[in-house]
Amino acid sequence: MAEVWFEARQVEAWLSGRPVIHQLNLTLALGQSTTVLGPNGAGKSTLVKLIERSLHPIVQADAHLKLFGSETVNLWQLRSRLGVVTTELETRFPPGIEARDVVLSGLFGSMRLGRDQTPTPNQRRHGDALLHQLGLETIAEQRFGQLSDGQRRRLMIARALVHSPEVLVLDEPSRALDLKAAHQLLQTLRQLCRNGTTVVQVTHRIDTIVPEMQRVLFLDGGTVVGDGSPAEMLTAERLSALFDTDLTVVEANGYRQVLPAFRPASG
């Protein structure tokens, strides 16, 4: 049986003085790439904050939140098993840092390489291998501020992979990307899934769900309202209910796109 890496039972979490996660019951296992889908304000980014431990749930007698089987987590040890990519993290990097150093900074959990942060030759080779894997080797010496949105997003993924984690969590990875950059990102996600990384994608966009995803969760109102395979969940009926609008689903090459449902003119 696959190891459970995330387990939430009756979890409640608050942000800015209001509850945003309600009675969350969710189990995620290694080897099962999953998309968490929901409208804006559904609690998706809050779930990511709970996973990365930048937000803690309300303490309740009947509730618990475990990562890799433990309620108490050493953040340094967690980095060796879990990588997280958010657009918020992306905005914190200084524009003058080299792309290669962005990747290597992940070894130390920092935004730049300090004087006492010197990667070993093996770590530098691993960083270069990640740049090559994600098609970024040609921009290794470019400044972060000179890169396109798509390059930055893939660079954040390379940084998150520097510890070779078992799980990679991405919060709205296609946000602000043009078509070419989005398609390059999707190819990266497909490659990671095929290579054995457990990918968790948190998004509101159905068209970015790659064919390798094995499970789709619906999140709304801060709780799970649907759970199943892509074939079960990504139907016009279920997506229309989740997004509270009439939709039709078009499928091609393993991807799905949603369009407004056709309603013939009356009269």
Q: What was the pLDDT predicted at 195?
A: 93
Query: pLDDT band at 257, cuts 50/70/90?
Result: very high
The residue extents of the domains of the chain are: 1-81+166-234, 96-164
Instruction: List, as own/partner pairs, every contact residues 64-73 make where C-beta atoms lie below 8 angstroms and the sequence separation is at least 24, other chains included.
Output: 64/7, 64/8, 64/9, 64/10, 64/11, 65/7, 65/8, 65/9, 65/11, 66/4, 66/6, 66/7, 66/8, 67/5, 67/6, 68/3, 68/5, 69/3, 69/4, 69/7
Q: What was the pLDDT predicted at 265?
A: 63
Greatest mean pLDDT range, 74-83, 113-122, 136-145: 136-145
**130-166 CB burial, b ≥16 within 10 A, e <16:** bbebbebeebbeeebeebebbbbbbbbbbbbbbbebb
- Residue 124's nearest CA partner among 152, 88, 162 is 162
Q: Which CATH class is domain 1-81+166-234?
A: alpha beta
Q: What was the pLDDT predicted at 3?
A: 94
Give the span between the Cα atoms of 248 and 237, in whole angstroms: 8
Query: pLDDT band at 75, cuts 50/70/90?
Result: confident
Give the span between the Cα atoms of 246 and 240, in whole angstroms: 5
- Residue 188's nearest CA partner among 256, 252, 257, 136 is 136
Does 142 have pLDDT greater than 90? yes
User: pLDDT by residue (tens digit) across 101-111?
Assistant: 999 999 998 98
Give the span between the Cα atoms of 133 and 115, in whole angstroms: 28
Q: Which of 25-39, 49-63, 212-226 has the lowest mean pLDDT?
A: 49-63
Q: For residue 14, give the DSSP letter.
A: E
Count CA within 13 A, CB hemisphere, residue 246. Answer: 4
**27-46 CB burial, b ≥16 within 10 A, e <16:** ebebeebbbbbbeeebbbbb
Q: What was the pLDDT predicted at 25?
A: 96
Query: pLDDT band at 266, cuts 50/70/90?
Result: low
pTM beyond 0.85? yes
Q: Which H helix or E strand runs over 157?
A: helix 149-160
User: pLDDT by residue (tens digit) across 168-220?
Assistant: 999 999 988 999 999 999 999 999 999 999 999 999 999 999 999 999 999 99
**Which tokens sit at 71?**
């309620």
Query: In the predicted model, what is the mean pLDDT of the chain?
Result: 93
Give the span between the Cα atoms of 32 and 197, in whole angstroms: 9
Q: What was the pLDDT predicted at 16?
A: 87
